[in-house]
Amino acid sequence: MGSIARSSRHVDWLCRDCLKWETSGTVPNRCPACGSPRMRSHDELFALSIAHVDCDAFYASVEKRDDPSLRDKPLIIGGGARGVVSTCCYIARQFGVRSAMPMFKARELCPDAVIIKPNMQKYVDVSRQIRRHMDALTPLVEPISIDEAFLDLTGTERVHKAPPALSLARFAKTIAEKIGVTISVGLSHNKFLAKVASDLDKPRGFAVIGKAETLTFLAPKPISLIYGVGKVFSETLKKDGYHTIGQLQDEDPIRLMKLYGEAGSRLARLSQGQDARKVSVDSEMKSISSETTFNTDIATLEDLSTELLKCTERLSERLKAKNVVGDTVTLKLKTSGFRLRTRARHLMMPTQLANVLYEAGMSLLQREADGTPFRLIGIGVSGLEAADGFDPVDLLEPLVARKAAAERAMDSVRSRFGRAAVVRGRLYTSRPDNQSAPASEEEAEDLESKFR
């Protein structure tokens, strides 16, 4: 951690085993109290309070906990309806097995792996137990999936009589001892960096990114480290000559905005390690969605995309009515055999615009429309927040601005004359026998809690 070179200054340190903590001129290699080498030291350790907590190979850890004979074996959780790896333990990872990999490929790489079908109810129960321990740390817990959450521990020192870093180390120890799974902690000064940190030192990690090192830490990293920068956008950036975050740091923000609109200004901010998002209890798993069950099954991309567009229009209307935007789009499909497929995609910017939501939905749909007959399609958006300030009519991005303006004009006509007054050209092409009834508002509201 570079603490030896700066030994004239005072450095914060803690022992992750016995939880001794101190600020001193020198950092011992081993804990002076218990002798453990599991020390964490950093200039800003006791000043930082935004954390991302992520369970290590969660499903696999739970199964190993419940069957100790699996402990030293490569373990893969998967092989459900989708035929892909849900989670694999760290031993299986050494063979190259990864999450979301097709099962046949995982078996090829690791023929000796033990394969277990996921037991979601069990994982949800364990997740709830972990959540209760989080709630005891701070009221500001923002779960982002079954096994990870952001925590804001600002101002908790007095209650816990310890800095946030120590509360987190104690939490990690408690979860390992009482629940029997291990977690990794990322500690920093905002959500973006906390999430990056939790991935640095897995499993059983505890990584810190301080304010002072933020720029130098980010500079050599690939731009794909920035959340929401997917493959397509990465490729665009590469073509334009941007490979590392450092290149974005050195670029004029105005130029980035000219090139990429709002996404450019977001890149400019995040490349500097600036992320103003609050750890928000409200956005917890909430989503809004719209779905349609067809009268007859649909298999072609063209017909499915027409239905998707109709659902997206309704979804966008509801987001606008509630004055919220969201940043994660989920596509839901049900096959004629009642198998559910859900696919999600993170957006660069939160939105309520039908155009943007539809494009994201289509990119997911294109991969799923493989000739399978479907009986239902739906689209949802989560990561909701107040709409103020998003989807701005951005003069620097004329295409987005034009789309947004056209969409707003359409909305205002609809609000006066009803939805049927303006129908997108695309919808005229749909076949009459696939004109399925839109879900009623009550139905749609009811779906919110189920749609993940």
CA distance 293 to 362: 18
Rank residues 39 and 51 by Cβ distance to Mg ion and give the closer one.
Answer: 51
Rank residues 130 and 354 by Cβ distance to Mg ion and give the closer one.
Answer: 130
Residue 148 CB, shortest distance to Mg ion, in Å, is: 5
Residue 99 CB, shortest distance to Mg ion, in Å, is: 9
Residue 54 CB, shortest distance to Mg ion, in Å, is: 4
Residue 172 contacts Mg ion per CB under 5 A? no
Whether a cis peptide bond, with omega within 30° of 0, leads into 203 is: yes
Strands in 319-373 per DSSP E: 324-335, 340-351
Residue 407 contacts Mg ion per CB under 5 A? no
224-253 footprint of Mg ion as x/- string (CB under 5 A): ------------------------------
Tokens of 396: 């620097």
Tokens of 302: 């063209």
- One-letter amino acid of 269: R
Tokens of 172: 């990690």
Residue 171 CB, shortest distance to Mg ion, in Å, is: 16
Residue 147 contacts Mg ion per CB under 5 A? yes
Region binding Mg ion by CB under 5 A among candidate stretches 51-59, 154-162, 209-217, 425-433 = 51-59
Residue 33 CB, shortest distance to Mg ion, in Å, is: 31
Region binding Mg ion by CB under 5 A among candidate stretches 129-137, 147-155, 234-242, 309-317 = 147-155
Tokens of 266: 């977001």
- Tell me the binding residues: 54, 147
- Out of 54, 63, 275, 313, name the contact with Mg ion by CB under 5 A: 54
CA 10: distance to chain centroid? 36
Q: Are 379 and 361 within 8 A, CB to CB?
A: yes
- One-letter amino acid of 12: D
Among 378, 365, 380, 379, residue whose Cα is nearest residue 300: 365
Rank residues 63 and 147 by Cβ distance to Mg ion and give the closer one.
Answer: 147
Catalytic: 148? yes
H/E run at residue 361: helix 354-368
- Tell me the binding residues for Mg(2+): 54, 147
Residue 19 CB, shortest distance to Mg ion, in Å, is: 24
Catalytic-labelled residue, pool 44, 148, 307, 407: 148
Rank residues 147 and 152 by Cβ distance to Mg ion and give the closer one.
Answer: 147
The interface with Mg ion within residues 348-387 (CB under 5 A) comprises none
Neighbours of 176 (CB within 10 A): 15
- One-letter amino acid of 240: D
Residue 149 contacts Mg ion per CB under 5 A? no
Give how many residues touch Mg ion by CB under 5 A: 3
SS3 state of residue 261: coil
Q: Are 351 and 391 within 8 A, CB to CB?
A: yes
- Helical ranges in 244-300 per DSSP H: 245-250, 253-260, 262-271
Rank residues 147 and 327 by Cβ distance to Mg ion and give the closer one.
Answer: 147
Rank residues 55 and 279 by Cβ distance to Mg ion and give the closer one.
Answer: 55
- One-letter amino acid of 130: I
Region binding Mg ion by CB under 5 A among candidate stretches 7-15, 140-148, 228-236, 362-370 = 140-148
Q: Are 271 and 291 within 8 A, CB to CB?
A: no
Strands in 260-373 per DSSP E: 287-298, 324-335, 340-351
Catalytic residues: 148
Q: Which residues bind Mg ion (CB under 5 A)?
A: 54-55, 147
